[in-house]
Structure 1
Amino acid sequence: MYEPSLSASSGTRIGTAESSGATTPTRKKWYSQDKATRSQETLSMLVGASHKLANPNEKKGALPSPQKLRKRPGHKRKTSGRIVTGADIQRDDELRIQLQIADILQRQRYITKMCRALMLFGAPGHRLEEHMKTTAAWLEVDSQFLYVPDCMIISFDDNLTHTTKVKIVREAQGTNLSKLKDTHEIYKEVLHDVIPLDEALERLEELIASPVRWPDWVRIICYGLASACISVFFEARFIDMPVIFVLGTLLGIGQVWVVPRSRTFAVVFEVLAATILSFAARGFGSIMGGQLFCFSALTQSSIAMILPGVLVLNSALELQSKAIVPGAIRMVYAVIYSLFLGYGITVGTTLYGYVDTNATNDPKCHNPARREWGFLFVPFFILFATFTSNAKLKQMPLMVAVGTVGYIVNYFTSQKFAASLPIAYALGAFTVGVLANAYSRFMHGVAITVLLPAVFVQVPGSLATSGAITAGLQTATALNQNLAEGAQDSQLNTIVFSLAASMIQISIGLSVGLSVANLILYPMGKRRSALWSL
């Protein structure tokens, strides 16, 4: 058993050889001692010796206190192991990522807002995808677009995360020439880095929320005045114009005031308007046995402002530009729309024929005004039509000039090519297309705003030349005269579809003329932006 004992000389425990305890602690080796302590002791001795030699009169043993010795300045830590620096770098990275995401979202919001504005204010459908692709490419946003009538499907792709965000913009196609021009200015300023995106977004929001340029009562009156001026296309006499003004004003009330406030009325507006106006026109035309007013001129002029000319033209242009989906949908709708008008004319005239047994059946006007009066009335028609489309005053002179030149070309070519009227339609459209695109190319204007009023003139003038609207009047006459059943069926089938077929024929001629005009003025397209034309 190990028993420790005390040594008299050292006062330490000494283990015996038999014990298994710890050995006696010895003095630390030199390499195990505290180096800092030895250095400090040696330094103190050297300082004391030097001080004694420098001051021999000082008492022995008087050494300077350690507090008076100059201390080595301590080392200050300048970093905290890069913990704070790493946190700052991480915070900067997060802030930079947030700014990048906010910038991407702002670009996407601008593209969506621009698309909504273009659809609201009347940009042509076959150019809409091109406008959006150009904008997205300039803003470096990876996106895809699919347009169907009144709806744009936008897909924003993220190649880093392999995700896709889909936005659907639904807006009914409208016509507002002043706002369309302002939208074009914003579009150009963004592409040329004139304004930042936040300012462009703010201006677009203000533009969409702003009221229309002209009040409702002005546009309603202009509907009546435009109908009266266009009546010279349909062989109306001067005595017919006051009645046509009243009927056109009624049409304007329905189009401007009632349709935006009643969804139910908007569904049946075309059929109801054609029925009521043709019923009233036959009533006025039957006064004094049809000798006072011209029945066919009243009917055709009163509905001229709701003819689907621009609608059919857009569908033909979309099909021509290989936009199959929107073009086919719009073309079918345009044909059905034309059939609605023809059906309404037939119903209205037939109903009045059953009410009044002495109703006139003569679809022709006696002693009509000469067609040369059109050179005087067409500029006024274009002027009033621009008011209904909310154009600016400074836009109107050029619109009137281009539309009048187009009518003059159409007038003379229709006489020259009477056996092939589509050639006359194409030449008239080619003329206005060249003038509008020249204005866009050399004066940096907006061609589409100049072209639309010119198209308003081309369609009624072409329909008057072809005599398609009188088909409903002939149908009513056939019904009242109780023709033989077999002959009646074949005649009615031919007459009902004549208006739709004439509209398609006219639209094809106009689309060819406009496309050739675009090819001449912009053979290689535009370098930076899309083409703002029909």
Structure 2
Amino acid sequence: MDKAELGSYHLNSVAQRMQITADIADILERQDFIIKLGKSLVRTGAPTHRIEAAMETTSKRLEIDGSYFVLPGLIMVSFGDVETHTSETHLIKCSKSLDISKLAKVNDIAHKVAKGKIDVSEASTELDDIKNSPPTWNVWWTLVGYTISSAFIAPLFFGGSWTDCWVSALFGLGVGLATFVSERIPMFGNVFEMVVTIVVSLITLAINNHVCYSAVALSAVVVALPGYALTSAVLELAAKNLCSGAVHLIYGIMYVMFLAFGMGYGSTIWSLTHPGVAVISMQACSKPVDPYWYFLMLPLTCFGICICFGANMRQYPIFTFNAGVGFVVYYFMNKLVGANSIITPSVGAFALGLTGNIYGKVTKQLAFVPLMGGIIILVPGSLGVRGAVSLFEDGSNNSASGMFASQIIGIALSITLGLFLANMCVYPLGRKRSVFLGF
């Protein structure tokens, strides 16, 4: 081989090595994007089964052979190489939170990648920008959200008076401040739910002659009620995602137990320190607000909840509209069959699921936002926290209150049934555009 042929051979060899290196770098970039997409969906609050579906859809579009499994706090990713018969497994720890505005942005990026509208490098940069951006609402606005939502939930769902309204606002502000403290002090975060509800219960009982205990105490912790977590758990179980669904379901039930334990504990302390004084806790309020005020209170409540869960102002109108649909149906069904009937949340969920999915189908926007608004509004009035509180009170009828866990699961199943029936009505042949059009 002469010098010219030898030089040509070396150039071809170098070119081949550079091409192989470029191909490997491209594959690694696509794999990294899929992992980054899964982490972004977890951080913004997408349901587990939707996260797996989104990662699988994106993986097929990017021609990556992989399998994905999402557990609470953990993402398991396995990439395979058909030619070399090798695989690479990643275990990624990722804590879950909820920011509806950022979730809509992540969903939009996933949709664009699946349709080939943007390349992987640009999409990865946008995900990094979302991750590094501050929360949709800052600390001060979040405190306003806690205050407003607690204030108006008291008359809306628990029959509170105007006095209960402003007292609940003060409690909501206190709970919001305690939430931020618990995020910065891990030791306090371990007992946050019980400590806060004990304090709320004691103070409310101290002023029980002026306020309604059930309205004030329950509305103060309404943002903490795990309505979305419970519904997502049942949806995950229905989607055959047994591990994540079971963990979320047990967590939701135990979280209600934490809140109820704190209220019952505070009530017991009050009984011990004030012997001979009757403790009046989970009774109906005597001076409810005129229902005509609900037309003003519901939009204000939705505004507070939007802030707490990270929805932006562009999402607020449809969030409020769908919440209004769910509330109106819930209100009249409550008058017709009673709040304790499992039919009530099911019919309400069907109505809001119908309007939410129609909105998503017509506008091509994320239907998760209006559905989320309706679910959060439905849960405070239907969740069986009253029975859970009586479970921890001295002298209560434990044979009746001990059924609260089955009531909670029944409510979650009822809401899930309504949502699935609504999906069947709007998408009888299934969804073709995106895995995120609804629950």
Q: What TM-score bracket applies, with the shorter chain setting the length?
A: over 0.9
Partner of 2:223: 305
Taking a change above 3 Å as real, the CA distance of residues 532 and 260 of structure 1, as seen in their structure-2 partners, is farther
Between 1:419-428 and 1:119-128, the stretch displaced more is 419-428
* 1:337 aligned residue: 255
Equivalent position of 2:294 in the other structure: 374
Give the corresponding residue for 1:293.
211
One of 336, 341, 347 as aligned partner of 1:416: 336
User: 364-373 or 202-211, which moves further after superposition?
Assistant: 364-373
* Equivalent position to 2:424, from 507, 519, 525: 519
Query: 8 Å contact 2:237–2:245 — kept in the other structure?
Result: yes
User: Which SS does the other structure have where 2:342 is aligned?
Assistant: helix
Q: Does 1:181 align with 2:112?
A: no
Q: Which runs of 5 or more structure 1 residues have no equivalent in the other structure?
A: 1-76
**Structure 1 residue 97, shift from structure 2 partner:** 0.5
Instruction: Give the distance between the partners of 1:517 and 1:471, measured in 2 at CA.
Output: 30
What does the per-residue CA deviation read over 1:438-464, in whole Å, with 9 as the maximum and x for residues that have no partner? 12111010111221121110001223x
Q: Is the 8 A contact 1:111 1:132 kept in 2?
A: yes
- The residue aligned with 1:246 is 170
The change in CA–CA distance for 1:357 and 1:242 in structure 2 (over 3 A counts) is farther
User: Deviation per CA, 1:335-373, whole angstroms, max 9, x where unpaired?
Assistant: 222222221111011112222346552233223334554
Task: Choose which of 489, 501, 510 in structure 1 pairs with 2:415.
Answer: 510
Structure 1 residue 182: Cα displacement: 1.0
Question: By how many angstroms is 1:304 displaced?
Answer: 1.4
Report whether the alignment pairs 1:141 with 2:64.
yes
Instruction: Tell me the residue number matched to 1:348.
Output: 266
The separation in 2 between residues aligned to 1:358 and 1:258, in whole angstroms, is 37
Counterpart CA distance in 2 for 1:474 and 1:93 is: 72
Distance 1:526 1:368, change over 3 A: closer
Asked whether the 8 Å contact 1:342–1:499 carries over to 2, the reply is no
Q: Matched residue pairs, number?
A: 436
Give the match for residue 386 of structure 2.
Answer: 469
User: 8 Å contact 2:160–2:287 — kept in the other structure?
Assistant: no
Could you say which residue in structure 2 is the equivalent of 1:126?
A: 49
CA pair 499-283 structure 1, distance change in 2 beyond 3 A? farther
The 1-side partners of 2:344 and 2:207 are apart by: 34
- After TM superposition, give the deviation of residue 333 of structure 1 in Å: 1.6
> Relative to 1, partners in 2 of residues 1:275 and 1:161: Cα closer, same or farther, differing over 3 Å?
same
Taking the aligned partners of 1:241 and 1:91, their CA distance within structure 2 comes to: 75
Name the counterpart of 1:67.
Answer: none
Could you tell me the TM-score, scaled by structure 1's length?
0.78
Distance 2:378 2:178 in 1: 24
TM-score (norm 2): 0.94
| Stretches of structure 2 lacking an aligned partner (at least 5 in a row) | none
Q: Deviations over 1:489-519 (max 9, x none)?
A: xx23542x44433322211111111111122
Q: Which residue of 1 aligns with 2:11?
A: 88
Q: What root-mean-square deviation, in Å, do the aligned CA atoms of Structure 1 and Structure 2 show? A: 2.0
- Give the direction of change, closer, same or farther, for the CA distance of 1:149–1:271 in structure 2 (3 Å limit): same
Aligned ranges 1:17-96 → 2 under 5 Å: 80=3, 82-96=5-19
Question: What residue number does 2:114 align with?
Answer: 191
Alpha-carbon deviation of 1:161? 1.7
Structure 1 residue 475 displacement after superposition: 5.1
Is contact 1:281–1:298 with CA below 8 Å preserved after alignment? yes
Partner residue of 2:240? 322
Which secondary structure state, in structure 2, belongs to the residue aligned with residue 533 of structure 1? coil
What's the counterpart of residue 8 of structure 1?
Answer: none
Q: C-alpha separation between the residues in 2 aligned to 1:84 and 1:528?
A: 53
Q: Tell me if the contact between 1:127 and 1:532 (Cα under 8 Å) persists in the aligned partners.
A: no
Q: Report the equivalent of 1:492.
A: 398
Do the aligned partners of 1:434 and 1:517 also contact (CA within 8 Å) in 2?
Answer: yes
Corresponding residue for residue 403 of structure 1: 323
Shift of 1:526: 3.0
* Whole-Å separation in 2 of the counterparts to 1:507 and 1:180: 23
Query: Which amino acid letter does the alignment assign opposite residue 365 of structure 2?
Result: G
What one-letter code is carried by the residue in structure 1 that aligns with 2:48? G
User: Take 1:419 and 1:341, find their aligned partners in 2: how far apart are those partners?
Assistant: 21
Aligned equivalents of 1:184, 1:148: Cα separation in 2? 20
Matches within 5 A, 1:274-289: 274-285=197-208
For the structure 1 residues 360 and 295, does the alpha-carbon distance in structure 2 shift closer, same or farther, using more than 3 Å as the test?
farther
Aligned partner of 1:12 in structure 2 is none
Identify the residue that residue 236 of structure 1 maps to in structure 2: 160
Percent sequence identity over aligned pairs: 28
Q: Which amino acid aligns with 2:25?
A: A
Q: 2:73 aligns with which of 141, 150, 162?
A: 150
Q: Is the 8 A contact 1:433 1:518 kept in 2?
A: yes
The structure that has the greater radius of gyration is 1
1:7 aligns with none
Which AA in structure 2 matches 1:158? D
Kindly indicate whether the alpha-carbon contact (under 8 Å) linking 1:282 and 1:359 is maintained by their aligned counterparts in 2: no
Give, in angstroms, the shift of residue 230 of structure 1.
Answer: 0.4
- Classify 1:372/1:313 alpha carbon distance in 2 versus 1 (closer, same or farther; 3 Å): farther
Q: Does 1:392 align with 2:309?
A: no
Q: Please report how far the alpha carbon of residue 203 of structure 1 lies from its aligned counterpart in structure 2 after TM superposition.
A: 1.0
Is the 8 Å Cα contact of residues 366 and 436 (structure 2) preserved in structure 1?
Answer: no
Corresponding residue of 1:438: 358
